Homo-oligomer: A and B are copies of this chain.
Amino acid sequence: MNPLAKTSQYFSEQWGWLRGYNGSRFSTDLNAAIIVTILVVPQSLAYALLAGLPPQIGIYASIFPLFAYAAFGSSRFLQVGPTAVISLMTAVAISTVPAESRLVAAAILAITMGVMLTILGLLRSGFIMNFVSRSVVSAYITGAAILIIVSQLKHLFGVETEGRTVIKMITSLISALGTTNPVALLVGGVTLIYLLLVKNTLPLVLVKSGMRARRAKLISRMAPIVAVILAIVSASYFSLSSKSGLNVVGDIPRGIPPFKLPMDLELYKLMLVPALVIGLVAFVDGMSTAQTLAAKARNRIDADKEMLGLGVSNFAAGISGGYPVNGSMSRSVVNFSAGGQTQMVGIFTAILMLLTALYLTPLLYHLPLASLAALIIVACISLLQFKELWKVWVYSREDGLTALATFFAVLMLGVQWGVVAGVVLSMAFHIRATLRPNMAIVGRFPGTQHYRNVDRFNVETNEIVKTLRIDESLYFANARYLEDKIARLAQESPEMTDLILMCPAVNRIDASALSSLETINKRLDSAGVRLHFSELHSMVKERFHRSQFLDVLTGEVFLSQQEAMEALEPEPDWSEFSDHIDIH
Protein backbone atom coordinates (compact mmCIF):
# COMPACT_ATOMS: atom_id res chain seq x y z
CA MET A 1 0.00 0.00 0.00
CA ASN A 2 1.37 3.43 -0.81
CA PRO A 3 1.70 5.96 1.99
CA LEU A 4 -1.20 8.04 0.68
CA ALA A 5 -3.61 5.11 0.67
CA LYS A 6 -2.33 4.06 4.08
CA THR A 7 -2.94 7.53 5.48
CA SER A 8 -6.38 7.68 4.00
CA GLN A 9 -7.22 4.27 5.43
CA TYR A 10 -5.99 5.41 8.84
CA PHE A 11 -8.20 8.49 8.76
CA SER A 12 -11.22 6.58 7.59
CA GLU A 13 -10.75 4.11 10.46
CA GLN A 14 -10.06 6.86 12.95
CA TRP A 15 -12.83 9.25 11.94
CA GLY A 16 -15.26 6.83 10.34
CA TRP A 17 -17.81 7.74 13.03
CA LEU A 18 -18.06 11.26 11.55
CA ARG A 19 -19.79 9.89 8.45
CA GLY A 20 -22.90 8.67 10.25
CA TYR A 21 -23.03 11.67 12.55
CA ASN A 22 -26.54 13.14 12.90
CA GLY A 23 -28.74 15.38 15.01
CA SER A 24 -29.72 12.74 17.54
CA ARG A 25 -26.10 11.80 18.21
CA PHE A 26 -25.23 15.47 18.42
CA SER A 27 -27.73 16.08 21.18
CA THR A 28 -26.80 13.01 23.28
CA ASP A 29 -23.11 13.86 22.88
CA LEU A 30 -23.64 17.50 23.84
CA ASN A 31 -25.69 16.40 26.84
CA ALA A 32 -22.87 14.06 27.97
CA ALA A 33 -20.30 16.81 27.40
CA ILE A 34 -22.18 19.23 29.66
CA ILE A 35 -22.35 16.64 32.43
CA VAL A 36 -18.65 15.79 32.02
CA THR A 37 -17.73 19.49 32.09
CA ILE A 38 -19.54 20.02 35.38
CA LEU A 39 -17.29 17.29 36.78
CA VAL A 40 -14.09 18.49 35.07
CA VAL A 41 -14.12 22.04 36.43
CA PRO A 42 -13.66 21.24 40.14
CA GLN A 43 -11.55 18.15 39.41
CA SER A 44 -9.11 20.03 37.16
CA LEU A 45 -8.60 22.73 39.81
CA ALA A 46 -8.14 20.18 42.58
CA TYR A 47 -5.70 17.99 40.63
CA ALA A 48 -3.59 20.98 39.56
CA LEU A 49 -3.27 21.94 43.23
CA LEU A 50 -2.40 18.31 44.03
CA ALA A 51 0.41 18.59 41.47
CA GLY A 52 1.68 21.69 43.26
CA LEU A 53 0.63 23.98 40.40
CA PRO A 54 -1.73 27.00 40.17
CA PRO A 55 -5.38 25.86 39.74
CA GLN A 56 -5.82 27.32 36.25
CA ILE A 57 -3.17 24.91 34.87
CA GLY A 58 -5.74 22.16 35.42
CA ILE A 59 -8.22 24.03 33.25
CA TYR A 60 -5.64 24.58 30.48
CA ALA A 61 -4.86 20.85 30.56
CA SER A 62 -8.55 20.11 29.96
CA ILE A 63 -8.84 21.89 26.59
CA PHE A 64 -6.37 21.04 23.81
CA PRO A 65 -5.50 17.51 24.98
CA LEU A 66 -9.18 16.64 24.45
CA PHE A 67 -9.03 17.80 20.82
CA ALA A 68 -5.82 15.80 20.34
CA TYR A 69 -7.26 12.64 21.83
CA ALA A 70 -10.44 12.92 19.77
CA ALA A 71 -8.23 13.00 16.67
CA PHE A 72 -5.75 10.23 17.55
CA GLY A 73 -7.03 8.08 20.44
CA SER A 74 -8.76 4.74 19.97
CA SER A 75 -11.44 4.77 22.67
CA ARG A 76 -14.83 6.31 22.05
CA PHE A 77 -15.43 6.91 25.73
CA LEU A 78 -12.10 7.83 27.29
CA GLN A 79 -11.93 11.39 28.66
CA VAL A 80 -8.36 12.66 28.94
CA GLY A 81 -7.26 15.49 31.19
CA PRO A 82 -5.76 15.94 34.67
CA THR A 83 -6.01 12.86 36.90
CA ALA A 84 -5.23 12.26 40.53
CA VAL A 85 -2.44 9.70 40.10
CA ILE A 86 -0.61 11.53 37.33
CA SER A 87 -0.91 14.81 39.24
CA LEU A 88 0.63 13.20 42.29
CA MET A 89 3.52 11.83 40.21
CA THR A 90 3.97 15.22 38.58
CA ALA A 91 4.22 16.80 42.02
CA VAL A 92 7.06 14.44 42.91
CA ALA A 93 8.86 14.96 39.59
CA ILE A 94 8.79 18.77 39.63
CA SER A 95 9.63 19.00 43.33
CA THR A 96 13.30 18.59 42.31
CA VAL A 97 13.42 21.99 40.58
CA PRO A 98 13.23 25.46 42.20
CA ALA A 99 9.69 26.77 42.82
CA GLU A 100 9.90 29.40 40.09
CA SER A 101 10.68 26.80 37.39
CA ARG A 102 7.95 24.31 38.29
CA LEU A 103 5.38 25.60 35.81
CA VAL A 104 7.82 25.23 32.92
CA ALA A 105 9.02 21.89 34.29
CA ALA A 106 5.45 20.54 34.33
CA ALA A 107 4.91 21.64 30.72
CA ILE A 108 8.24 20.10 29.70
CA LEU A 109 7.31 16.91 31.51
CA ALA A 110 4.09 16.69 29.49
CA ILE A 111 5.92 17.43 26.22
CA THR A 112 8.62 14.83 26.90
CA MET A 113 6.01 12.24 27.90
CA GLY A 114 4.07 13.15 24.78
CA VAL A 115 7.01 12.73 22.41
CA MET A 116 8.09 9.45 24.03
CA LEU A 117 4.62 7.91 23.98
CA THR A 118 4.04 9.07 20.40
CA ILE A 119 7.28 7.47 19.24
CA LEU A 120 6.61 4.28 21.23
CA GLY A 121 3.08 4.18 19.82
CA LEU A 122 4.33 4.57 16.24
CA LEU A 123 6.87 1.79 16.93
CA ARG A 124 3.93 -0.40 18.05
CA SER A 125 5.17 -0.79 21.63
CA GLY A 126 1.70 -1.12 23.10
CA PHE A 127 2.61 -4.67 24.06
CA ILE A 128 4.60 -3.43 27.07
CA MET A 129 1.18 -3.13 28.71
CA ASN A 130 1.33 -6.90 29.10
CA PHE A 131 4.26 -6.67 31.51
CA VAL A 132 2.03 -5.22 34.20
CA SER A 133 -0.10 -7.89 35.82
CA ARG A 134 -3.62 -7.22 37.08
CA SER A 135 -2.62 -7.79 40.68
CA VAL A 136 0.04 -5.10 40.29
CA VAL A 137 -2.50 -2.69 38.79
CA SER A 138 -4.96 -3.33 41.64
CA ALA A 139 -2.29 -2.91 44.31
CA TYR A 140 -0.85 0.16 42.63
CA ILE A 141 -4.23 1.91 42.29
CA THR A 142 -5.18 1.09 45.87
CA GLY A 143 -1.85 2.35 47.21
CA ALA A 144 -1.98 5.50 45.13
CA ALA A 145 -5.55 6.21 46.26
CA ILE A 146 -4.54 5.97 49.91
CA LEU A 147 -1.52 8.18 49.26
CA ILE A 148 -3.74 10.82 47.63
CA ILE A 149 -6.34 10.64 50.40
CA VAL A 150 -3.60 11.22 52.99
CA SER A 151 -2.15 14.08 50.93
CA GLN A 152 -5.54 15.84 51.02
CA LEU A 153 -6.03 15.69 54.78
CA LYS A 154 -4.02 18.88 55.25
CA HIS A 155 -6.65 20.84 53.28
CA LEU A 156 -9.42 19.31 55.37
CA PHE A 157 -7.70 20.53 58.53
CA GLY A 158 -6.49 23.76 56.94
CA VAL A 159 -2.87 23.16 58.00
CA GLU A 160 0.54 23.01 56.29
CA THR A 161 2.34 19.66 56.08
CA GLU A 162 5.38 18.27 54.31
CA GLY A 163 6.73 14.96 53.04
CA ARG A 164 5.72 12.72 50.13
CA THR A 165 5.43 9.33 51.80
CA VAL A 166 2.42 8.30 53.84
CA ILE A 167 4.33 8.06 57.11
CA LYS A 168 5.96 11.49 56.76
CA MET A 169 2.69 13.12 55.75
CA ILE A 170 0.82 11.60 58.67
CA THR A 171 3.45 12.47 61.29
CA SER A 172 3.69 15.99 59.86
CA LEU A 173 -0.11 16.27 59.95
CA ILE A 174 -0.34 15.07 63.56
CA SER A 175 2.23 17.59 64.76
CA ALA A 176 0.35 20.35 62.88
CA LEU A 177 -3.08 19.44 64.27
CA GLY A 178 -2.75 22.13 66.93
CA THR A 179 -3.10 24.78 64.22
CA THR A 180 -6.26 23.24 62.73
CA ASN A 181 -8.54 25.79 61.09
CA PRO A 182 -12.04 25.00 62.50
CA VAL A 183 -13.81 26.60 59.53
CA ALA A 184 -11.81 24.52 57.02
CA LEU A 185 -12.62 21.40 59.02
CA LEU A 186 -16.30 22.33 59.12
CA VAL A 187 -16.56 23.11 55.39
CA GLY A 188 -14.47 20.08 54.39
CA GLY A 189 -16.23 17.77 56.83
CA VAL A 190 -19.71 18.79 55.70
CA THR A 191 -18.74 18.38 52.02
CA LEU A 192 -17.21 14.98 52.76
CA ILE A 193 -20.25 13.69 54.67
CA TYR A 194 -22.61 15.06 52.02
CA LEU A 195 -20.68 13.40 49.20
CA LEU A 196 -20.45 10.06 51.01
CA LEU A 197 -24.17 10.08 51.82
CA VAL A 198 -25.12 11.00 48.27
CA LYS A 199 -22.85 8.34 46.85
CA ASN A 200 -24.13 5.54 49.04
CA THR A 201 -27.81 6.32 49.56
CA LEU A 202 -29.04 8.71 46.85
CA PRO A 203 -29.19 6.08 44.05
CA LEU A 204 -31.16 3.73 46.33
CA VAL A 205 -33.60 6.47 47.33
CA LEU A 206 -34.10 7.53 43.72
CA VAL A 207 -34.64 3.97 42.53
CA LYS A 208 -37.17 3.38 45.32
CA SER A 209 -39.04 6.50 44.24
CA GLY A 210 -39.40 4.94 40.81
CA MET A 211 -36.41 6.21 38.82
CA ARG A 212 -34.50 3.89 36.48
CA ALA A 213 -31.25 2.59 38.02
CA ARG A 214 -28.96 4.03 35.35
CA ARG A 215 -30.47 7.49 35.60
CA ALA A 216 -30.33 7.39 39.40
CA LYS A 217 -26.66 6.49 39.29
CA LEU A 218 -25.91 9.32 36.88
CA ILE A 219 -27.73 11.89 38.98
CA SER A 220 -25.88 10.82 42.09
CA ARG A 221 -22.63 11.19 40.17
CA MET A 222 -23.54 14.81 39.47
CA ALA A 223 -24.08 15.57 43.15
CA PRO A 224 -20.62 17.13 43.59
CA ILE A 225 -21.66 20.19 41.61
CA VAL A 226 -24.27 20.97 44.28
CA ALA A 227 -21.58 20.75 46.96
CA VAL A 228 -19.28 22.98 44.94
CA ILE A 229 -21.95 25.63 44.40
CA LEU A 230 -23.07 25.58 48.03
CA ALA A 231 -19.47 25.81 49.24
CA ILE A 232 -18.72 28.75 46.94
CA VAL A 233 -21.89 30.56 47.98
CA SER A 234 -21.34 30.13 51.72
CA ALA A 235 -17.64 31.00 51.56
CA SER A 236 -18.45 34.10 49.56
CA TYR A 237 -21.47 35.14 51.66
CA PHE A 238 -19.68 34.81 55.00
CA SER A 239 -16.31 36.01 53.56
CA LEU A 240 -14.76 32.93 55.11
CA SER A 241 -11.52 33.48 53.23
CA SER A 242 -10.69 36.91 54.62
CA LYS A 243 -12.42 36.58 58.02
CA SER A 244 -11.68 32.98 59.05
CA GLY A 245 -8.50 32.27 57.07
CA LEU A 246 -10.20 29.59 54.97
CA ASN A 247 -7.99 28.64 52.02
CA VAL A 248 -9.85 29.18 48.74
CA VAL A 249 -8.93 28.77 45.08
CA GLY A 250 -8.53 32.53 44.73
CA ASP A 251 -7.75 34.60 41.67
CA ILE A 252 -7.65 32.69 38.42
CA PRO A 253 -6.50 34.73 35.43
CA ARG A 254 -9.07 34.83 32.62
CA GLY A 255 -8.15 33.64 29.14
CA ILE A 256 -5.70 30.99 28.01
CA PRO A 257 -1.93 31.17 27.51
CA PRO A 258 -0.50 31.24 23.94
CA PHE A 259 0.99 28.06 22.45
CA LYS A 260 4.67 27.80 23.36
CA LEU A 261 7.43 25.20 23.13
CA PRO A 262 9.68 25.77 26.20
CA MET A 263 13.38 25.54 25.34
CA ASP A 264 15.07 24.94 28.71
CA LEU A 265 17.42 22.05 27.81
CA GLU A 266 18.50 21.46 31.42
CA LEU A 267 14.87 20.87 32.43
CA TYR A 268 14.30 18.49 29.52
CA LYS A 269 17.25 16.45 30.75
CA LEU A 270 15.93 16.47 34.30
CA MET A 271 12.43 15.40 33.27
CA LEU A 272 13.58 12.58 30.98
CA VAL A 273 13.41 9.69 33.45
CA PRO A 274 10.25 10.90 35.26
CA ALA A 275 8.60 11.34 31.85
CA LEU A 276 9.34 7.75 30.91
CA VAL A 277 8.05 6.35 34.21
CA ILE A 278 4.96 8.58 34.38
CA GLY A 279 4.28 7.93 30.70
CA LEU A 280 4.23 4.19 31.19
CA VAL A 281 2.11 4.42 34.33
CA ALA A 282 -0.32 6.74 32.56
CA PHE A 283 -0.53 4.37 29.61
CA VAL A 284 -1.20 1.32 31.76
CA ASP A 285 -3.71 3.23 33.88
CA GLY A 286 -5.49 4.75 30.85
CA MET A 287 -5.53 1.45 28.97
CA SER A 288 -7.19 -0.26 31.94
CA THR A 289 -9.96 2.34 31.92
CA ALA A 290 -10.36 2.23 28.13
CA GLN A 291 -10.49 -1.58 28.09
CA THR A 292 -13.05 -1.75 30.87
CA LEU A 293 -15.36 0.60 28.96
CA ALA A 294 -14.67 -1.10 25.62
CA ALA A 295 -15.63 -4.46 27.13
CA LYS A 296 -18.94 -2.99 28.33
CA ALA A 297 -19.65 -1.63 24.86
CA ARG A 298 -18.31 -4.83 23.23
CA ASN A 299 -15.67 -3.20 21.14
CA ARG A 300 -11.89 -3.37 21.16
CA ILE A 301 -9.02 -1.04 22.04
CA ASP A 302 -5.85 -0.92 19.97
CA ALA A 303 -2.97 -0.54 22.45
CA ASP A 304 -0.60 1.03 19.91
CA LYS A 305 -3.16 3.60 18.80
CA GLU A 306 -4.05 4.31 22.42
CA MET A 307 -0.40 4.98 23.19
CA LEU A 308 -0.19 7.36 20.25
CA GLY A 309 -3.37 9.13 21.35
CA LEU A 310 -2.08 9.59 24.88
CA GLY A 311 1.25 10.83 23.50
CA VAL A 312 -0.29 13.49 21.26
CA SER A 313 -2.63 14.57 24.06
CA ASN A 314 0.28 15.14 26.42
CA PHE A 315 2.21 17.03 23.79
CA ALA A 316 -0.85 19.25 23.31
CA ALA A 317 -1.11 19.72 27.09
CA GLY A 318 2.55 20.73 27.30
CA ILE A 319 2.54 23.36 24.56
CA SER A 320 -0.77 24.90 25.68
CA GLY A 321 0.32 25.71 29.22
CA GLY A 322 -0.99 22.53 30.81
CA TYR A 323 0.67 19.57 32.53
CA PRO A 324 0.65 15.77 32.11
CA VAL A 325 -2.77 14.29 31.35
CA ASN A 326 -4.24 10.84 31.21
CA GLY A 327 -7.52 9.04 30.67
CA SER A 328 -9.71 9.80 33.70
CA MET A 329 -11.60 6.86 35.15
CA SER A 330 -14.33 8.93 36.85
CA ARG A 331 -15.05 11.25 33.92
CA SER A 332 -14.94 8.44 31.34
CA VAL A 333 -17.45 6.43 33.35
CA VAL A 334 -19.72 9.48 33.67
CA ASN A 335 -19.47 10.03 29.92
CA PHE A 336 -20.39 6.39 29.30
CA SER A 337 -23.33 6.46 31.73
CA ALA A 338 -24.55 9.79 30.35
CA GLY A 339 -24.88 8.12 26.94
CA GLY A 340 -21.92 9.75 25.17
CA GLN A 341 -21.58 7.96 21.84
CA THR A 342 -18.55 9.30 19.97
CA GLN A 343 -15.31 11.19 20.29
CA MET A 344 -17.38 14.35 19.76
CA VAL A 345 -18.06 14.42 23.54
CA GLY A 346 -14.38 15.25 24.08
CA ILE A 347 -14.51 18.04 21.51
CA PHE A 348 -17.64 19.56 23.06
CA THR A 349 -16.12 19.29 26.55
CA ALA A 350 -12.99 21.04 25.32
CA ILE A 351 -15.05 23.88 23.88
CA LEU A 352 -17.01 24.23 27.14
CA MET A 353 -13.75 24.27 29.13
CA LEU A 354 -12.38 26.92 26.79
CA LEU A 355 -15.47 29.02 27.52
CA THR A 356 -14.94 28.41 31.25
CA ALA A 357 -11.36 29.62 31.02
CA LEU A 358 -12.42 32.71 29.10
CA TYR A 359 -15.46 33.78 31.11
CA LEU A 360 -16.24 31.76 34.25
CA THR A 361 -13.07 31.71 36.34
CA PRO A 362 -14.08 34.64 38.60
CA LEU A 363 -16.99 32.52 39.85
CA LEU A 364 -14.49 30.02 41.26
CA TYR A 365 -12.66 32.52 43.50
CA HIS A 366 -14.40 31.47 46.72
CA LEU A 367 -14.26 27.69 46.14
CA PRO A 368 -12.71 26.35 49.40
CA LEU A 369 -9.72 24.03 49.07
CA ALA A 370 -11.25 21.94 51.86
CA SER A 371 -14.23 21.18 49.61
CA LEU A 372 -11.95 20.24 46.73
CA ALA A 373 -10.05 17.95 49.12
CA ALA A 374 -13.31 16.27 50.13
CA LEU A 375 -14.12 15.81 46.44
CA ILE A 376 -10.77 14.14 45.78
CA ILE A 377 -11.02 11.93 48.87
CA VAL A 378 -14.42 10.58 47.88
CA ALA A 379 -13.20 9.95 44.32
CA CYS A 380 -10.22 8.02 45.71
CA ILE A 381 -12.30 5.92 48.10
CA SER A 382 -14.05 4.38 45.11
CA LEU A 383 -10.65 3.39 43.69
CA LEU A 384 -9.72 1.18 46.66
CA GLN A 385 -9.65 -2.47 45.57
CA PHE A 386 -9.16 -4.36 48.81
CA LYS A 387 -11.60 -7.10 47.80
CA GLU A 388 -9.70 -7.85 44.57
CA LEU A 389 -6.43 -7.87 46.48
CA TRP A 390 -7.80 -10.31 49.03
CA LYS A 391 -8.92 -12.60 46.20
CA VAL A 392 -5.43 -12.47 44.71
CA TRP A 393 -3.88 -13.26 48.08
CA VAL A 394 -6.09 -16.31 48.57
CA TYR A 395 -5.47 -17.59 45.05
CA SER A 396 -1.70 -17.38 44.86
CA ARG A 397 1.00 -16.57 47.34
CA GLU A 398 3.33 -15.25 44.59
CA ASP A 399 0.76 -12.86 43.15
CA GLY A 400 -0.24 -11.85 46.66
CA LEU A 401 3.33 -11.02 47.67
CA THR A 402 3.84 -9.08 44.44
CA ALA A 403 0.71 -7.06 45.12
CA LEU A 404 1.74 -6.46 48.74
CA ALA A 405 5.19 -5.24 47.68
CA THR A 406 3.65 -2.94 45.08
CA PHE A 407 1.21 -1.55 47.62
CA PHE A 408 3.85 -0.78 50.24
CA ALA A 409 6.35 0.55 47.71
CA VAL A 410 3.69 3.02 46.52
CA LEU A 411 3.04 4.16 50.08
CA MET A 412 6.61 4.19 51.37
CA LEU A 413 8.79 4.98 48.35
CA GLY A 414 6.48 6.66 45.83
CA VAL A 415 4.08 5.57 43.12
CA GLN A 416 6.68 4.95 40.42
CA TRP A 417 8.61 2.57 42.66
CA GLY A 418 5.43 0.67 43.23
CA VAL A 419 5.11 -0.05 39.53
CA VAL A 420 8.79 -0.91 39.23
CA ALA A 421 8.64 -3.26 42.23
CA GLY A 422 5.47 -4.89 40.93
CA VAL A 423 6.72 -5.46 37.40
CA VAL A 424 10.12 -6.78 38.47
CA LEU A 425 8.68 -9.05 41.17
CA SER A 426 6.00 -10.51 38.94
CA MET A 427 8.61 -11.22 36.25
CA ALA A 428 10.92 -12.75 38.85
CA PHE A 429 8.20 -14.99 40.31
CA HIS A 430 7.22 -16.17 36.85
CA ILE A 431 10.80 -17.01 36.00
CA ARG A 432 11.31 -18.70 39.34
CA ALA A 433 8.44 -21.03 38.46
CA THR A 434 10.31 -22.19 35.33
CA LEU A 435 13.65 -22.82 37.07
CA ARG A 436 12.99 -26.56 37.05
CA PRO A 437 11.19 -27.35 33.82
CA ASN A 438 9.35 -30.60 33.38
CA MET A 439 11.53 -33.27 31.72
CA ALA A 440 10.87 -36.97 31.19
CA ILE A 441 12.64 -40.02 29.87
CA VAL A 442 10.40 -41.36 27.12
CA GLY A 443 10.01 -44.69 25.34
CA ARG A 444 8.04 -46.00 22.40
CA PHE A 445 4.42 -47.03 22.90
CA PRO A 446 4.52 -50.63 21.60
CA GLY A 447 3.47 -50.91 17.98
CA THR A 448 3.14 -47.13 17.45
CA GLN A 449 5.34 -44.16 16.67
CA HIS A 450 4.28 -42.41 19.87
CA TYR A 451 6.78 -41.72 22.63
CA ARG A 452 5.60 -41.36 26.22
CA ASN A 453 6.92 -40.80 29.75
CA VAL A 454 8.42 -44.08 31.06
CA ASP A 455 7.16 -43.32 34.56
CA ARG A 456 3.54 -43.12 33.48
CA PHE A 457 3.22 -45.53 30.57
CA ASN A 458 4.31 -49.05 29.82
CA VAL A 459 6.67 -48.23 26.97
CA GLU A 460 9.65 -49.83 25.25
CA THR A 461 13.06 -48.48 26.21
CA ASN A 462 16.65 -49.61 26.01
CA GLU A 463 19.83 -48.81 27.89
CA ILE A 464 21.89 -47.87 24.83
CA VAL A 465 19.86 -45.07 23.26
CA LYS A 466 17.94 -42.89 25.69
CA THR A 467 15.54 -40.06 24.98
CA LEU A 468 14.89 -37.10 27.29
CA ARG A 469 11.83 -35.04 26.42
CA ILE A 470 11.99 -31.37 27.51
CA ASP A 471 8.66 -29.65 28.16
CA GLU A 472 9.65 -26.00 28.40
CA SER A 473 11.78 -23.49 26.51
CA LEU A 474 15.45 -23.51 27.48
CA TYR A 475 16.88 -20.22 28.65
CA PHE A 476 19.18 -18.71 31.22
CA ALA A 477 17.00 -19.49 34.23
CA ASN A 478 16.79 -23.22 33.61
CA ALA A 479 19.97 -23.86 31.62
CA ARG A 480 21.99 -24.92 34.66
CA TYR A 481 19.23 -27.25 35.80
CA LEU A 482 19.41 -29.02 32.44
CA GLU A 483 23.17 -29.44 32.87
CA ASP A 484 22.65 -31.04 36.29
CA LYS A 485 19.83 -33.25 35.09
CA ILE A 486 21.85 -34.66 32.19
CA ALA A 487 24.98 -35.08 34.30
CA ARG A 488 22.94 -37.23 36.70
CA LEU A 489 21.37 -39.16 33.84
CA ALA A 490 24.80 -39.91 32.37
CA GLN A 491 26.03 -41.11 35.75
CA GLU A 492 23.06 -43.47 36.15
CA SER A 493 23.32 -44.89 32.60
CA PRO A 494 26.74 -46.50 32.19
CA GLU A 495 25.68 -48.39 29.04
CA MET A 496 24.31 -45.34 27.21
CA THR A 497 26.05 -44.42 23.95
CA ASP A 498 23.48 -42.01 22.53
CA LEU A 499 21.23 -39.42 24.19
CA ILE A 500 18.40 -37.81 22.22
CA LEU A 501 16.92 -34.55 23.47
CA MET A 502 13.34 -34.52 22.19
CA CYS A 503 12.20 -30.89 21.99
CA PRO A 504 8.58 -30.63 20.78
CA ALA A 505 7.74 -27.97 23.40
CA VAL A 506 11.01 -26.03 23.25
CA ASN A 507 9.94 -22.78 21.62
CA ARG A 508 13.20 -20.96 22.29
CA ILE A 509 16.84 -21.63 23.20
CA ASP A 510 18.70 -18.50 24.26
CA ALA A 511 22.46 -17.84 24.32
CA SER A 512 22.88 -19.05 27.91
CA ALA A 513 21.08 -22.30 27.16
CA LEU A 514 23.15 -22.73 23.99
CA SER A 515 26.27 -22.36 26.08
CA SER A 516 24.91 -25.01 28.47
CA LEU A 517 24.21 -27.32 25.54
CA GLU A 518 27.82 -26.86 24.43
CA THR A 519 28.97 -27.80 27.92
CA ILE A 520 26.65 -30.81 27.98
CA ASN A 521 27.87 -31.90 24.53
CA LYS A 522 31.50 -31.70 25.67
CA ARG A 523 30.90 -33.54 28.95
CA LEU A 524 28.90 -36.31 27.27
CA ASP A 525 31.61 -36.64 24.63
CA SER A 526 34.26 -37.24 27.27
CA ALA A 527 31.95 -39.89 28.76
CA GLY A 528 31.63 -41.53 25.31
CA VAL A 529 28.01 -40.49 24.73
CA ARG A 530 26.80 -38.76 21.55
CA LEU A 531 24.18 -36.02 21.83
CA HIS A 532 21.28 -35.80 19.34
CA PHE A 533 18.19 -33.66 18.94
CA SER A 534 14.75 -34.51 17.59
CA GLU A 535 11.59 -32.54 16.81
CA LEU A 536 13.33 -29.18 17.06
CA HIS A 537 11.22 -26.17 16.12
CA SER A 538 12.39 -24.70 12.82
CA MET A 539 13.23 -21.38 14.49
CA VAL A 540 15.48 -23.09 17.01
CA LYS A 541 17.15 -25.09 14.24
CA GLU A 542 17.79 -21.91 12.29
CA ARG A 543 19.40 -20.38 15.39
CA PHE A 544 21.66 -23.44 15.76
CA HIS A 545 22.83 -22.91 12.19
CA ARG A 546 23.74 -19.33 12.97
CA SER A 547 26.03 -20.45 15.81
CA GLN A 548 28.89 -22.93 15.56
CA PHE A 549 27.08 -25.45 17.72
CA LEU A 550 26.31 -27.90 14.92
CA ASP A 551 30.03 -28.05 14.03
CA VAL A 552 30.92 -29.37 17.48
CA LEU A 553 27.77 -31.43 18.11
CA THR A 554 28.81 -35.08 18.39
CA GLY A 555 25.46 -36.40 17.18
CA GLU A 556 22.78 -35.39 14.70
CA VAL A 557 19.62 -33.32 14.45
CA PHE A 558 16.65 -35.48 13.44
CA LEU A 559 13.37 -34.22 12.10
CA SER A 560 11.22 -36.61 14.15
CA GLN A 561 11.76 -38.81 17.16
CA GLN A 562 10.80 -41.86 15.09
CA GLU A 563 13.49 -41.04 12.55
CA ALA A 564 16.05 -40.65 15.33
CA MET A 565 15.17 -44.03 16.83
CA GLU A 566 15.28 -45.77 13.45
CA ALA A 567 18.74 -44.38 12.80
CA LEU A 568 20.20 -44.99 16.27
CA GLU A 569 18.41 -47.89 17.90
CA PRO A 570 20.52 -51.03 18.12
CA GLU A 571 19.34 -53.82 15.80
CA PRO A 572 17.68 -56.59 17.77
CA ASP A 573 20.09 -59.49 18.07
CA TRP A 574 18.98 -61.77 15.19
CA SER A 575 21.83 -64.31 15.55
CA GLU A 576 19.74 -66.83 17.45
CA PHE A 577 17.16 -66.70 14.70
CA SER A 578 19.72 -66.92 11.88
CA ASP A 579 19.11 -70.59 11.10
CA HIS A 580 15.46 -69.93 11.00
CA ILE A 581 15.94 -67.02 8.59
CA ASP A 582 18.27 -68.99 6.34
CA ILE A 583 15.70 -71.70 5.93
CA HIS A 584 13.13 -69.38 4.41
Q: A435-B127, A508-B433, A514-B395 are in contact. Are A476 and B134 (CB under 8 A)?
A: yes
Contact between chains at A476 and B132 (CB < 8 Å): yes
Interface bits A417-450 vs B (CB < 8 Å: 1, else 0): 0000000101110111111001000000000001
Let me know if A2 is at the binding interface, CB within 8 A.
no
Q: How far is A420 from B471 in the complex, measured between Cα atoms in Å?
A: 29
Q: A394-B546, A438-B507, A519-B295 are in contact. Are A512 and B134 (CB under 8 A)?
A: yes
Interface bits A135-168 vs B (CB < 8 Å: 1, else 0): 1100000000000000000000000000000000
Q: How far is A484 from B400 in the complex, measured between Cα atoms in Å?
A: 26
Of A134, A478, A548, the most chain B CB neighbours within 10 A belong to A134
Q: How far is A547 from B547 in the complex, measured between Cα atoms in Å?
A: 46
Let me know if A264 is at the binding interface, CB within 8 A.
no
Instruction: Name the distance in Å between A128's Cβ and chain B's nearest Cβ.
Output: 9
Q: How far is A246 from B130 in the complex, measured between Cα atoms in Å?
A: 59
Contact between chains at B130 and A476 (CB < 8 Å): yes
Residues of B within 8 A of A400 (CB): 511
Interface bits A57-89 vs B (CB < 8 Å: 1, else 0): 000000000000000000000000000000000
Instruction: Name the distance in Å between A135's Cβ and chain B's nearest Cβ.
Output: 5
* Nearest-neighbor residue (CB-CB) of A537 within chain B: B438
Residues of B within 8 A of A172 (CB): none
Residues of B within 8 A of A472 (CB): 507
Query: What secondary structure prevails in chain A residues at the interface with B?
Result: helix
**CB under 8 Å from chain B, chain A span 118-134:** 127, 129-134
Contact between chains at A476 and B133 (CB < 8 Å): yes
Interface bits A237-264 vs B (CB < 8 Å: 1, else 0): 0000000000000000000000000000
Q: How far is A398 from B487 in the complex, measured between Cα atoms in Å?
A: 28
Q: A135-B512, A475-B430 are in contact. Are A546 and B507 (CB under 8 A)?
A: no
Residues of B within 8 A of A477 (CB): 130-131, 133, 430
Q: How far is A132 from B431 in the complex, measured between Cα atoms in Å?
A: 11
Let me know if A399 is at the binding interface, CB within 8 A.
yes
Residues of B within 8 A of A556 (CB): none
Contact of A480 among B130, B426, B507 (CB under 8 A): B130
Please give 8 more A-B residue pairs, beta carbons under 8 A apart, in addition to A130-B435, A395-B511: A131-B476, A134-B479, A135-B512, A300-B484, A391-B511, A394-B546, A426-B476, A427-B427
**16 pairs across A/B with beta carbons < 8 Å?**
A127-B432, A131-B431, A131-B476, A133-B476, A133-B511, A134-B512, A135-B511, A135-B512, A295-B523, A300-B487, A394-B547, A395-B543, A395-B546, A434-B507, A438-B507, A471-B505
